[in-house]
Structure 1
Amino acid sequence: MADVAPGELVFLADDEGNSVAVNVLGRQPGWAAGLAAEIVVGTPFVSGRIDLVLSVSKLKSWGDALNRLDAGENAAWMEWDRGPSFSVQLSGERDCPEVVVEDEGSMVIVRVPLVPPDDWIEDHRQRLHQVTAHWVPMLSEQ
């Protein structure tokens, strides 16, 4: 994997122009243990973004989700938390993997079918490691 900025936690994209990213923007104002972040969805049909707040436990739960995906299971991330949820279904409605982003507040659900590269799980473990190594020490200083 090429060097990735420690703010790019998730980046899934395909050759059809579909992508879903989770970007860490910096410390969350007003909460010393939180990181301001956003989910960004881009497709030829629809695009959007939604803010979220990440904590150390949410970063750990993304690692757990990656382990489930590596074992061939679908995985939901932030499913029972306030704010948006993010899940990866390995065999979606169109017989390919899809990312589902749901915002309970607006009641909007976006399904993005995409076929990630073969090494995407290992790539995302490395992204998680880089984000954690960069941001967690700053959070623990508080």
Structure 2
Amino acid sequence: MTSNDIPDLIHFADEHGNSVVLRVTELDAERLTGRIEVRSSFVNGDVATTVFAEDIDEWETVLDDLHEGDNTAWREDKRATEIWLELDDEDRLLVSVIDRQGSSSTAELLVAVPENWLDDHYERLSAIRKLQAE
């Protein structure tokens, strides 16, 4: 399977060029590897990451929290890059990518997400799980 066959686990992007994406490059039953990419007209960067089964389960919990309208964090205080998500009243996400272990840097972007962004992310999660089971 090539990386072109694997969907991004995370894909927040808007028409202003702001995006935070977790591009999956390799996938097996225990983990996936890829890059978290942060892009805007102001900042561009990426960091390698490994996502384990418990991280994928936690991502589903994060999506559930967002569905309920709660602000949330993925992989908070763990061995990997964290992603914090805050919803605002204008259907935008404030996405903070925190790389404590590697660069000791944080990047924050406000992303105007499309109307169906949450359904799209549940579908991405389902597709990743299906590919891992094959």
TM range (shorter): 0.7 to 0.9
What does residue 101 of structure 1 align with?
97
After TM superposition, the structure 1 stretch with the greater mean CA deviation from structure 2, 96-105 or 39-48, is 96-105
What does residue 15 of structure 1 align with?
15
Q: Is the 8 A contact 2:13 2:113 kept in 1?
A: yes
More strand by share: 2
What does residue 82 of structure 2 align with?
85
Q: 2:120 aligns with which of 92, 102, 123?
A: 123
Mapped to 1, the partners of 2:55 and 2:96 lie a distance apart of 17
Q: 2:44 aligns with which of 22, 37, 47?
A: 47
Mapped to 1, the partners of 2:16 and 2:10 lie a distance apart of 18
* Structure 1 segments (4+ residues) deviating >4 Å: none
Q: Deviations over 1:10-35 (max 9, x none)?
A: 1111111100101111148xxx7222
Relative to the length of structure 1, the TM-score reads 0.83
Q: How many residues matched?
A: 130
Mapped to 2, the partners of 1:71 and 1:34 lie a distance apart of 28
Relative to the length of structure 2, the TM-score reads 0.87
Percent same amino acid at aligned positions? Answer: 28
Q: Is the 8 A contact 1:6 1:127 kept in 2?
A: no
Q: Which runs of 5+ in 2 are unaligned?
A: none
Letter of the aligned partner of 1:121 in structure 2? L
Q: Which runs of 5+ in 1 are unaligned?
A: none
